[in-house]
Structures are given as structure tokens and as C-alpha cells.
Amino acid sequence: MLYPKQYDVIVIGGGHAGTEAALAAARMGQQTLLLTHNIETIGAMSCNPAIGGIGKGHLVKEIDALGGAMAHAADRGGIQFRILNARKGPAVRATRAQADRVRYKAAVLEIVQAQENLDLFMQAADDLIVENNRVCGVRTQMGLNFKAKAVVLTVGTFLGGKIHIGMENHSGGRAGDPPSIALAQRLRELPFRVERLKTGTPPRIDARSIDYSLLQAQPGDTPTPVFSYLGSRDDHPAQVACHITYTNQQTHDIILSSLDRSPLYSGVIEGTGPRYCPSIEDKVVRFAEKDKHQIFIEPEGLDTYEVYPNGISTSLPFDTQLSLVRSIVGFENAHITRPGYAIEYDYFDPRDLKPSLETKFIDGLFFAGQINGTTGYEEAGAQGLLAGMNAALQIQDKEAWCPKRNEAYIGVLVDDLITCGTQEPYRMFTSRAEHRLLLREDNADLRLTEIGHNLGLVDETRWRLFSEKQEQIEQELQRLRDTCIHPSQISDEQTQDVFGGKLSREYHMDELLRRPNVTYESLTSIEGAGPAVEDDAIAEQVEVQIKYAGYIERQQQEVSRQLRQENTALPEQLDYSDVSGLSNEVRQKFMDQRPTTIGQASRIPGITPAAISILLVHLKKNQ
Ligand code: FAD
């Protein structure tokens, strides 16, 4: 049967990529269908109940700046908030929220259901309808055909998913959910490069069986951080503490004696696992010199006794899981509620994607999330938003929006993926961004909200609030530049504590704020220097922009220099066999990956500056 309504965009999969993709396309006015296995699992967190962290928090803020859902849902589901790296520079400070997984999921579903232009349908997608190399719809498990102008595929760990616990394995998309077998087979018939990856999750524990008196508590920060630029502390439910414990030598001995029954070490699992989120068996083998590993005990929610022991992801047999858990201080009588497991799944080589996340082989088909080789809710959400937005732009006959590496972490993520591919689950870190002083969490809205508004992604309420904030920042910056502080205004206590001695003359407030120990708060508490702005976000922005002005300007100059070369386009039909002076290896790499700009070409692994010079000379000669 053909469904009577014709859609502009169909998004397959209601995970973190899928919800952001569907919301973005619908916000931009496209008739959108979110087709997913189960409406009840929309926004489900497959693994750890947490949003954000280093690099990942930056992505969440960018999604928020473009009108997405993740930060709102984190504010409404967050039960412990922290700013990581709070004492370090602003580029690496990152927000992290421990989430109540039920509240988080409910918030996502509520946002999705409230979105205009967005329909939901619960059913597995089994096939893509492709005509003349263009996708034009989706066929579901029961043979229902949906027509659309573009399709965004976001099926996570479900394609050919295989779950491993010890030497036992079975098909599954994640614990309790079916795998996508028919769709996986169909996609393997299309010309994409498909490989296998794996990821894993720890056993969950009943909190009532843990002896918390032996553990170290880790409360959230005060005042409680807020994720969304439009959010407030009032959005948060009750806040709770996490706890910390450690593995020990006995735990490690139990693991080592069980490696012959580990699917990872006996060769049953072929896919590569996440380097930065390794299983406990991996950590014990790779870091044999370490006598303990830290475990964060993270509550799964306010209305459940289950906790998530972050740090002991494992696919060892269940009897080993129970022994290793019970060897840990505080867990001596632990009851496991769900076994840990590993999952292997298909992913597509992201080098087969354009910067818009449209596939190179089938027009109108976009890929986002875990299927592109990434790991993490935030990486998935960011790609989903970009793919949904670009699907909408394509339908509107507009140019795709592909953020540059100096504009957004989303740009870094996509550029890394489509240029270098990935052989292991890719996660974001601040260290992946060469211009990270420009790409801070605190300025994601200043970088992106105007772009989002112009693209139709950001609604009028957000735009108005953002414009007011921007104006207040400018006014306060100007006030600090214009206002002078006389030494007599400073109390004896401030003279010593803040300035380390007497001021020799009158200074402008912005000059004083550049001094290492002076903060916006201490500066505006000087008699006659106020009133300070009330909004913490504006105060933070003013402080960062003044304190780091020199570094920021230097980074901007560097970006301008690089951009001149970076944006030099490489013709789509460029015949690399004509470019003399390139080695065969380099030539082959260019022919395989067909970079679209010099910048992209320069980031292909193994490409030397000399090869780029040859390419530039060739382009100049053939202008
Ligand atoms: P998912 O969240 O997986 O969502 C996919 C959606 O597509 C689901 O709603 C599914 O029902 C739907 N779907 C699938 N096939 C079809 C179909 N044919 N038709 C209709 N709907 C379909 N991330 C980390 O950062 N760190 C970790 O340690 C970590 N460990 C993990 C451990 C496990 C066991 C699992 C399963 C995941 C883990 N993750 C981890 C990954 C994290 O869950 C994903 O990165 C994130 O959920 C990816 O989002 P996504 O939207 O791409 O896919």
C-alpha cells in the first residue's frame, strides 16, 4: 500500500540523530515523518545516562544554539550537573549532566510531539525506494510505502546488530530491541563501503545492594549549571550525588583468569571498539601496570534503584561479571539487574558522504549518527541536526550549510569523518579542534544562532532573547572600556587579594580585568564600579572576551590565513592523473576521496604539504 500523504523528508530511527534530524527538517517547514521501531523508545539512552562532557558538551551547546532539543531535554532530565575543567581555560570547560533516563526520554518525546510539520510512525523500515539513483521513499516491514523527496537514515547500532555476553551471542539492536536485518542486507547491496564496529555497556546494579558508606560522594556543582541557552535552574528536577569506587588487584585477577571466555580476546568479536571508552577487560590488559581503575556510580534516575557503574563496561560471561563486581569495595553484596554486553554492528565509511552528510552514491539520501562510525549521543545529535537541515535545504533548492572547522565542532566532526574516515568509534574531544579558543561552549550561540535564524532553524523567541543578550554584552563591554577605576576606590583587602599591591594610577576597567587574578565579579565589587550585569552568562562572556582578547585575535588571524587556502575549490572532475609530480600513492588517495577543497585534501592522512603545493600549482596553471 502507498501511504496517502507525500512527505518532504523521512527520517528513519528515533534515536539522538533521528530526533534532531526530524525536528530540524520540520522546523524548517518541511512535511516530515519520523519512522521508528518503537515510539516508546524515542530519545532512549542506550548506554550511560549522561549528556555532555569534554568536547561533547560543546556539541550540545551548538545543537541548542541552532534550536535543537538535546540541551532542553538534558535540563529537564539532569539530576547532577558539573562543569568539567572549571579551573582551566574557557576553551576546554565543558558542561556534563547526569540524566534521569526516563525524564530525559520523556522530554525528547514531548518536544517531538509538540513539533509542527512532524508525524510519527511506529514500524521498522525494511527497504529504501530508489529510482534513477535518487531515493524517493521507504518501505516498511508490513509492506507500507512512504514517498518522500529526501530520506535521513539514523539507525544507530541496529544494522546487523549482534549482542555478546561471554561466548553466547544473539541478534539485537541493543538490549531489549530487535536488530535491523532486512535493511542491513538491502544497504549492503548498494555501493557503500560497510564495516563492523563494536561498543559495550556495563552491568547495572541495584543501589539497595551497594554499601554507600564505603564510597566517596561526588555532588554536582553549586550553583547548578544549566545546559540550554534558554534554560533555567527551575527546569531541573531534584539533584543527587554520584559516588566513586575503584577496581583492585583481585578484580583484575578475576578478569585475567577469564579472558579465554571473553568474546573480545577469543576472536569472536571482529569489530573495533571505542578507544576512549574501553571495556574493563581491555583496560586491565592494556594498562597492566595500573593497580586500580576508577568507577563512577551514576544513578539511572530519581524513581529507580538501578545505578550505572561507569568504567566497567564488559562482555565477559555473566558469572565473571558477578565475581568482578563483587570484588569491588562497596559492591560486596551487589545484585546485578542487567548484565553488561558488547554489541557489533554495521557502519558505513563516512568518506562516502558529502560535507552535507548526503551520500555520494544516492541523491537525497543522508546518513547521520552511529552508522557513520561515531559513538555518543552528542555526536549523533549534531550530525542528525545537520543532515535534517541539509535535507530541508535541498528540497528548498538552497545550498547546503556545511560549517567550517573554525565555526563549529559540528564542522570539525563532519570534516574529520568525511576526510579521514574512521576505523574505530569516533568521539569528540576539544583536542580535535585546531581553533578551540574560538569554539567555546560559552559562545556557541554567538557563533551559530544568527546562522540558524537565517536558515529557518531558530524560532522568533530564541532569536529575540539572543539579540537582547548580544546587545547587553556589547553594552557591558563598552561600559568597562569607558569606565575608570581610581586607586582610592579599592579597599585595602582588594588591593592585596586581587591586585597584589597598590594601583599606581587610574585604569580603565577592561585593562584591570585583563590581570590574572581579577575576575568580573571581583572587579564589579569595587566601590562605584557597578552595577554588575545580573545574568551569569553575560558576565562570563564579558570576562572571556576581555581576558582572552589577545589570544582570540591571534587565532582569528591564523584562521583568515588558512581560510584563503582552505576554501580553494577543487573541480569535481579534476583528473589527478594529469597532475604531474604527485606520487602514485597520493594520486590514488585523491582519486579515492575526491576532496572538494584544498583544506580537505590537506587533511587526508598521508598527504604532505609538498603534495598540496603541487596541487595548488596545477590549479593555477589550469585556471
Ligand atoms: P540510536 O540511539 O541507536 O538510535 C537508533 C534508532 O533507530 C532507534 O530508535 C531504533 O529503534 C531505530 N531503528 C533502527 N533500525 C530501524 C529500522 N530499520 N526502522 C525503524 N527504526 C529503526 N556511546 C558512548 O558515547 N559511550 C559509550 O560507552 C557507549 N556505549 C554503548 C553501548 C551499547 C551497548 C550501545 C548499544 C550503545 C553505546 N553507545 C555509547 C552509543 C550510543 O548509544 C550511540 O552513540 C547513540 O545512541 C547513537 O545515536 P543514534 O541516533 O545514531 O542511534
- Rounded-to-integer distance, Cα 118 and Cα 7, Å: 10
What is the position in ligand 1's atom list of the atom closest to the CA of 342? 34
Phi, psi of 149 (to 5 degrees): -85, -25
User: Do 339 and 391 contact (CB within 8 A), yes or no?
Assistant: no
What is the position in ligand 1's atom list of the atom closest to the CA of 341? 34
Higher pLDDT, 58 or 600: 58
Query: Which secondary structure element, helix H or strand E, spans residue 460, and what is its range?
Result: helix 460-482
Best CA proximity match to 327, nearest among 242, 206, 209, 246: 246
The mean pLDDT of 46-55, rounded to a whole number, is 95
Mutate to test the pocket of ligand 1, among 19, 20, 33, 36 (most ligand atoms within 8 A of CB): 36
- Rounded-to-integer distance, Cα 27 and Cα 532, Å: 37
What is the position in ligand 1's atom list of the atom closest to the CA of 377? 46
Ligand 1: centre distance to CA 271 (Å): 16
Percent of the chain residues topping a pLDDT of 70: 100
Q: How many CA atoms lie within 13 A of 536 on its CB side?
A: 10
Closest protein CA for atom 42 of ligand 1: 376
- Rounded-to-integer distance, Cα 11 and Cα 154, Å: 7
In angstroms, the Cα distances linking 74 to 39, 217, 550 are 19, 22, 34
Question: 100: Cβ–Cβ under 8 A, 6 or more apart, which residues?
Answer: 49, 77, 78, 79, 237, 299, 300, 301, 302, 303
Closest protein CA for atom 28 of ligand 1: 277
Per the annotation, binding residues for FAD are: 13-18
Question: 360: Cβ–Cβ under 8 A, 6 or more apart, which residues?
Answer: 352, 353, 354
Give the pLDDT score at 270.
82
Task: Label residue 530 by pLDDT band (50, 70, 90).
Answer: confident
Average pLDDT, the chain: 94
Mutate to test the pocket of ligand 1, among 16, 314, 372 (most ligand atoms within 8 A of CB): 16
The string of pLDDT tens digits covering residues 157-193 is: 999 999 999 999 999 999 999 999 999 999 999 999 9
Mutate to test the pocket of ligand 1, among 162, 377, 383 (most ligand atoms within 8 A of CB): 377
DSSP three-state, residue 138: strand
What is the position in ligand 1's atom list of the atom closest to the CA of 375? 45
Q: Name residue, grid cell 536488530.
A: 179
DSSP three-state, residue 606: coil
The string of pLDDT tens digits covering residues 537-576 is: 999 999 999 999 999 999 999 888 778 878 888 998 899 9
Best CA proximity match to 370, nearest among 321, 425, 443, 333: 425
- Rounded-to-integer distance, Cα 126 and Cα 181, Å: 8
Closest protein CA for atom 40 of ligand 1: 376
Give the pLDDT score at 386.
98
Ligand 1: centre distance to CA 407 (Å): 27
Question: 289: Cβ–Cβ under 8 A, 6 or more apart, which residues?
Answer: none
Q: Which of 134-138, 361-365, 525-529 has the lowest mean pLDDT?
A: 525-529
Q: Using the Cα atoms of residue 441, residue 445, residue 451 and residue 455 in order, give the sign of their dihedral.
A: positive
List helix spans (H) across 327-459: 377-395, 409-420, 444-455
Give the pLDDT score at 584.
86
What is the position in ligand 1's atom list of the atom closest to the CA of 156? 53
- Rounded-to-integer distance, Cα 188 and Cα 191, Å: 7
Instruction: Give 423's DSSP letter.
Output: S
Closest protein CA for atom 29 of ligand 1: 47
Whether the predicted pLDDT of 607 surpasses 90: no
Whether the predicted pLDDT of 209 surpasses 90: yes
The mean pLDDT of 443-447, rounded to a whole number, is 98
Protein residues whose CB sits closer than 6 Å to any atom of ligand 1: 12-18, 35-38, 41, 46-48, 124-125, 154-158, 173-174, 177, 180, 183, 199-201, 277, 343, 369-370, 375-377, 380
List helix spans (H) across 242-373: 249-256, 280-286, 318-326
Whether the predicted pLDDT of 203 surpasses 80: yes
CA 446 to chain centre: 19
Question: 186: Cβ–Cβ under 8 A, 6 or more apart, which residues?
Answer: 126, 127, 128
Task: Label residue 437 by pLDDT band (50, 70, 90).
Answer: very high
Ligand 1: centre distance to CA 14 (Å): 9
Ligand 1: centre distance to CA 536 (Å): 35
Higher pLDDT, 114 or 621: 114
The string of pLDDT tens digits covering residues 460-517 is: 999 999 999 999 999 999 999 999 999 888 888 778 777 777 888 999 999 999 998 8
Task: Label residue 65 by pLDDT band (50, 70, 90).
Answer: very high
Instruction: With 0.95 as the threshold, say if the pTM is over it.
Output: no
Ligand 1: centre distance to CA 243 (Å): 26
- Rounded-to-integer distance, Cα 365 and Cα 391, Å: 8
- Rounded-to-integer distance, Cα 349 and Cα 423, Å: 9
Ligand 1: centre distance to CA 345 (Å): 10
Higher pLDDT, 563 or 386: 386
Closest protein CA for atom 50 of ligand 1: 156
User: Do 255 and 281 contact (CB within 8 A), yes or no?
Assistant: yes
Whether the predicted pLDDT of 387 surpasses 80: yes
Closest protein CA for atom 22 of ligand 1: 13
